[in-house]
Chain A
Amino acid sequence: MPNLEHPAYPAATLLRLESLVPCRESQVSMLLSIFGERQQFTFPSIFIYGHTSSGKTYVMQTLLNTLQLPHVFVNCVEYFTSRLLLEEILIQLQNCSSETKHASHVLCDTFNDFVRMFKQAVTSQDLQDQTLYIVLDRAEQLREMEANILPAFLRLQELTDRNVTVVLLSEIVWELFRPSTGCFEPFTLYFPDYSIGHLQKILSHNHPPEYSADFYAAYINILLGVFYMVCRDLKELQHLAALNFSKYCEPVVRGEANERDTRKLWKNIEPHLKKAMQTVYLREISSSQWERLQRDDGEPGQLKGLSAHAHVELPYYSKFLLIAAYLASYNPVRTDKRFFLKHHGKIKKTNFMKKHEKTSNHLLGPKPFPLDRLLAILYSIVDNRVAPTANIFSQITSLVTLQLLSLVGHNDQLDGPRYKCTVSLDFIRAIARTVNFDIIKYLYDFL
């Protein structure tokens, strides 16, 4: 295990830093050696990437805070326009060294302004003699801003002629950032995923004060055994651990088992965790509802999850419109005659099929269809006569806004709009059942 060593910083601080970033020591020591001493110039830009919750933000924040390096930390999702982003950096810069917050307002529209004001700020804050770090979290958002922003940040050191380093944090690889016109290549650093051992170590690190570390570690072990297959997100795992820990302790609190009775404890918690995986982890029921259930010792069966309410009640004609749309989306046009004409004669599927139609349409997904076809099918599947009233047409658009249909292309409405049906087979079967319409008989795939 590499111990952090650096001549520029006191050993005690480094030791504290090491204890704060378990399982990320090698990355930290790498960063430290790149950063060098306070006053030394370092790489103009560093690009750090890795999966969700692999500790990028946390490591950067702890590193900069513990070593008390001057820095600015900005989340690019939060400051969604370039103006907001630049202004935020300047504001944080103003408050960087002085503790008191002045809310003096900065106006910064272009990068040119930013460079000018940045220089001023650095001078006024007395930061010339040490490296300033600008950390841009969720840097993939930068790609959606003006084209000059990303390349300019990468060479900020050169543009401002100050001792500054820009650190980009992202979940995607650098190759997806590189603009077509080329730019300064940053130093890239990869944060690998935590292994199961790492997760075990980090999660056990924060044990509750009233229980021993070993007891909690055993619990984490069981938890990871259940959840590691589906979830490697550290934050989520921590959340789940906290939610279910009281249940794990129950036998101990009641005095039925002692802390060493691992088998008994496992028997108690394992089905509970499995249930949690199907409900609270999927956000079928909320964590507070889950906690309440635990407290009252109720069965989660009483509480229906979100997906139990999949049924949608629709007006009569909307149901038929949706059914017609589904048929139009999943049946080839040529088969309409066979399904909707009374005397269509016998057409066998085998003679009828073209080669490409042999694959199930349900595997290929819905196909777009014009409005006229939808209405033609509607008229033939509804028993009584339907007048093409304004209400029928507005129902189609209602279905679009409810996201049951989707409009394909953004053509003028008059110009023959095309739609797709986005509902699933199960959904449409449930709808068809309520109007006594046997939809399977009308689907080409099930012929």
Chain B
Amino acid sequence: MSPPPFAPPPPPVPFPAGGLAVTAWNWERERGDMSTCSVSKGCFVFKPSPKKRRVSPKTADYFREGNNDSEDSGLRFATCQSLWKQIKSETEQIQEELNKQLFDNLVSFLRRSHSEFQEKTTEWTCRMKSREIPTAALVLGVNVTDHDLTFKSLSEVLQNNITPYVALLQAKDCPGIKNLMQKLMGQLMNCYIDVDSSDEEDCVQVSQNRIRCSMASLISWYENITKKTDSETPSKKRTSSRHLQSPPVVVIFKDMESFTTKVLQDFLVISSQHIRELPLILIFGIATSPMIIHSLLPHSVSSLLCIELFQSLSCKEHLSTIIDKLLLTTQFAFKLSEKVLQVLINIFLYHDFSVQNFIKGFQLCIVEHFCSQPLSVLCCRLVEAKKRVNSLSHSQCENVRRLPSFRRYVESQVSEKQIALLTADNFLKEVIQKLLEDLHVYHENYVPVLRCLHVFTSSLPKYPLGKQIRELHCACLENRVWETEEYESSLQLARMLNKSDLVTMLQKCVEIFASSSGKEFDKVVEKLKEFLTQFQKLEVAGACQERGESVSSQKELQKKTDLYHLQKTLLELKESRRSKKLTKFEMLRFEVVDFIDNLVRNYLVPADHKTLHEIMYFNTASALREHLNAAPRIALHTALNNPYCYLKNRALKSDGGTISNKAPDICIVYKLHLECGRLINLVDWLEAFSTVVMAVEGPNAAASDQVDDIIHARFIRAVSELELLGFIKPSKQKTDHVARLTWGGC
């Protein structure tokens, strides 16, 4: 007989440390953790997370090429690890802060609806109203991969504040109402045991009774535990005081869209019948729009619910915060180059909207950078890096000399210094320290100036330099931003700003610079403040001056009365207005814009113009694209069309359109099938195949009409391999034909 359906799962058996069993088990667990429900039939690559991988003692060896440790692989590994740890905790904290508002709203909703629940039923309105199930419709956006984390923290919050009884249901676990009830009861009863593991009596009872998974047993379970908590000793009560009296049971439907209508309807009907005995509160996790509730549930069922809407922060805002806190800061030495950042952002915007994937991609960048760049050992805080420079080995110094940016630097020096740099390690180390310091200062100045520029560009019409700061950041990293057309046009637009806008922007800039850590900005702040006071003075002076001017011209008009003169003066007036000397405000505005322009030219130099930028910046975008945006069809096509690409066998080197008979059979068959139309005649195909294969034996061998049995067998195997790969399928339209499933035929 099968075990009871929801006995508590056995505690994880402690496996012997190390060995295959552990990794297999870990892998299984991870698989369970990762959410694949959204794209359930897509193609999944489960990358074991590097953190887990590092647990095994040999991970550090991946960083080492060969056996010598001259390139500080151990230190690099440690740096990488600590950096990732920092970033991870930072991102988690960001997520927590962003979700706080939403969770607070949810918690207060739960409290409110639960207190309504316990209202006295003697009142007339309460008696007459039908009891609806309180339901929170939680709209989370289409980035389903991020939802898991949100739900996890949500259930933690609920367990801390409202009730210990929280169940998370997923559509793939609940194809029928029976499975749903099983899952629900399993989770609820386990969570009870978790909360109060001291008395095992109940646990035994559960397994003894072989509880039927029906609402009735759920209700009796609920009655039991609430009775028990009521009669608990006061000391125990204190621990559960954060929960409400007779706490509600919260059921979270993680992916509302995927649940079948029948299951949901049945569950809602059943639970609404017992709502008085079992205070249930539902949370629907919705990825698209709350309209889905109405399309899933008929009115007779949705009228059982009391639905309130909650909306989470949009994923784009989440990403902006993440970029703001991870990239536009001097806190982390590690940086992304423009191309890499663009790849990550493109994947986010074009494909998945998933912040978690963005962070995972960022993590991959870190690992790749520290693994592939030996000099990344210097990618840490300045003080630490300076220390590490002193202990660099000779080969590491050679690595530095090989850096393109450093070579450029050397070439710009006088010849004696060039020689010293290329020969004396000690002198080199001194220079490196100085250069690292320069780089650090550059970063410190870069961020506030970038933000300041963003203040200006983000309020211009049509956003020539982008609305988001990330776009501006990319533009600045790519090349000298002041040489671009967009920059030119935005400056022109900025010269047309009105005063009040300009003043508020200047104030914002003052704030940004004042709060930044850069040392050179005292003067900048002073200058900006000076501008501000000048604007204030203008306000007072400008008013009376203008009035005087207009009055004088008015007087002149009144003096001349004949037509000719009037025309003349009007023309003159017009002319003078056109070439009128700039007003004081306009002068000042030009000055401000020039000042900002100056700042940009000084501080927003692209990073790859800086010496030693390779140490901090990860720029192998192609590796990242290969890993994160895989193209299976293209890879398959390359493998079959050009086997040399993967097999590296010299004999396979393709020379144009011919088909080599040394290639694997499947490649030959594939290449032949590319020349066919939608339906392929198998006999012709076999003929062609045997011709290609027999080509080596010369014309006399090919003369025999009969196809060799072995060749026939090879052909059949290759064709069935192609079928397995999904290129062809048997066709019923014509006998002896197969249908192509890919297009591109003639």
Contacts and interface: CB of A to CB of B under 8 A. Distances in A.
6 contacts: A78-B216, A239-B129, A307-B294, A315-B142, A391-B350, A415-B741
Given A245-B125, A315-B352, A416 B178 contact: no
Contact of B128 (A242, A282, A315): A242
Contacts of A397: 38-42
A414 B177 CA distance: 31
B87 to A, nearest CB: 24
A427 to B, nearest CB: 9
- With a 10 A CB-CB cut-off, give which of A288, A314, A372, A401 has the most chain B CB atoms: A401
Nearest to B349: A316
B587 interface: no
A306 interface: yes
A389 B635 CA distance: 10
A316 B130 CA distance: 45
Contact of A389 (B137, B291, B300, B630): B630
B10 interface: no
B144 interface: yes
A283 interface: yes
A246 interface: yes
Contact of A401 (B257, B266, B741): B257
Contacts of B326: none
A243 B351 CA distance: 46
B142 A314 contact: yes
Interface in B632-651: 632-634
B273 A391 contact: no
Nearest to A370: B741
Contacts of B39: 394-395, 397-398, 401
Contacts of A80: 177-178, 266
A88 B258 CA distance: 31
A404 B116 contact: no
Given A239-B129, A416-B729, A403 B257 contact: yes
A389 B629 contact: yes
A316 B257 CA distance: 21
B43 A239 contact: no
Given A78-B214, A80-B266, A310 B129 contact: no
Contact of A306 (B269, B293, B306, B348): B293
Contacts of A67: none
A402 B287 CA distance: 7
A313 B288 CA distance: 8
B128 A312 contact: no
A241 B137 CA distance: 26
A404 B288 contact: yes
Given A313-B141, A315-B142, A238 B288 contact: no
Contact of B726 (A312, A387, A388, A414): A414
Contact of B43 (A87, A304, A310, A390): A390
A402 B352 CA distance: 13
Nearest to A101: B220
B43 A79 contact: no
Given A77-B269, A80-B266, A401-B37, A52 B300 contact: yes
Given A306-B137, A388-B633, A315 B266 contact: no
A364 interface: no
Interface in A377-416: 387-398, 400-404, 413-416
Given A287-B132, A403-B257, A315 B125 contact: no
Interface in A32-52: 52
Contacts of A396: 42
A287 B129 contact: yes
- With a 10 A CB-CB cut-off, give which of B125, B288, B630, B741 has the most chain A CB atoms: B288
A253 to B, nearest CB: 14
Given A286-B306, A313-B141, A402-B38, 19 more contacts: A78-B273, A79-B214, A80-B177, A239-B130, A242-B125, A242-B129, A283-B299, A307-B294, A310-B291, A315-B142, A389-B629, A390-B45, A390-B631, A395-B39, A398-B39, A401-B37, A401-B39, A401-B258, A403-B288
B308 A289 contact: yes
Contacts of B135: 286
Given A306-B291, A315-B352, A398-B144, A391 B125 contact: no
B302 interface: yes
A298 B359 CA distance: 44
B350 A390 contact: no
- With a 10 A CB-CB cut-off, give which of A313, A317, A376 has the most chain B CB atoms: A313
Nearest to B41: A397
A210 B124 CA distance: 9
Given A79-B214, A287-B129, A401-B37, A388 B351 contact: no
Nearest to A242: B128
Interface residues of A, number: 69
Contacts of A355: none
Contact of A317 (B273, B306, B350, B741): B350
Given A239-B130, A317-B350, A246 B289 contact: no
Interface string B311-328: 100101000000000000
Interface in A269-328: 282-283, 286-289, 304, 306-307, 309-318
Interface string A124-137: 00000000000000
Interface residues of B, number: 80
A433 to B, nearest CB: 16
B294 A77 contact: no
Contact of A209 (B112, B124, B300, B302): B124
Contacts of A84: 212-214
Contact of B741 (A315, A376, A390, A416): A416
B255 interface: yes
Given A84-B214, A394-B39, A288 B743 contact: no
Contacts of B216: 78, 88
Contacts of A6: none
A154 B316 CA distance: 61
Interface in B91-113: 112-113
Nearest to A375: B743
Nearest to B352: A315
A12 interface: no
A188 B113 CA distance: 43
A261 interface: no
B220 A387 contact: no
Interface string B469-499: 0000000000000000000000000000000
Interface in B136-178: 137, 139, 141-142, 144, 177-178
Given A80-B177, A310-B291, A283 B347 contact: no
A400 B144 CA distance: 13
Contact of B306 (A245, A287, A402): A287
A260 interface: no
Given A88-B216, A310-B291, A239 B128 contact: yes
B212 A413 contact: no
Interface string B1-35: 00000000000000000000000000000000000
Nearest to B287: A402
Given A208-B124, A286-B132, A315 B214 contact: no
A283 B294 contact: yes
A206 interface: yes
A206 B128 CA distance: 8
Nearest to B131: A239
A235 interface: yes
Contact of B311 (A208, A309, A372): A309
A75 interface: yes
B116 A288 contact: yes
A180 B676 CA distance: 53
A312 B42 contact: no
Please provide the 3 A-B residue pairs with the shortest distance between their CB atoms, ordered closest to farther. A394-B42, A242-B128, A414-B726
Interface in A82-104: 83-84, 87-88, 103
A306 B255 contact: no
A88 B220 CA distance: 14
Given A80-B178, A88-B216, A317 B351 contact: yes
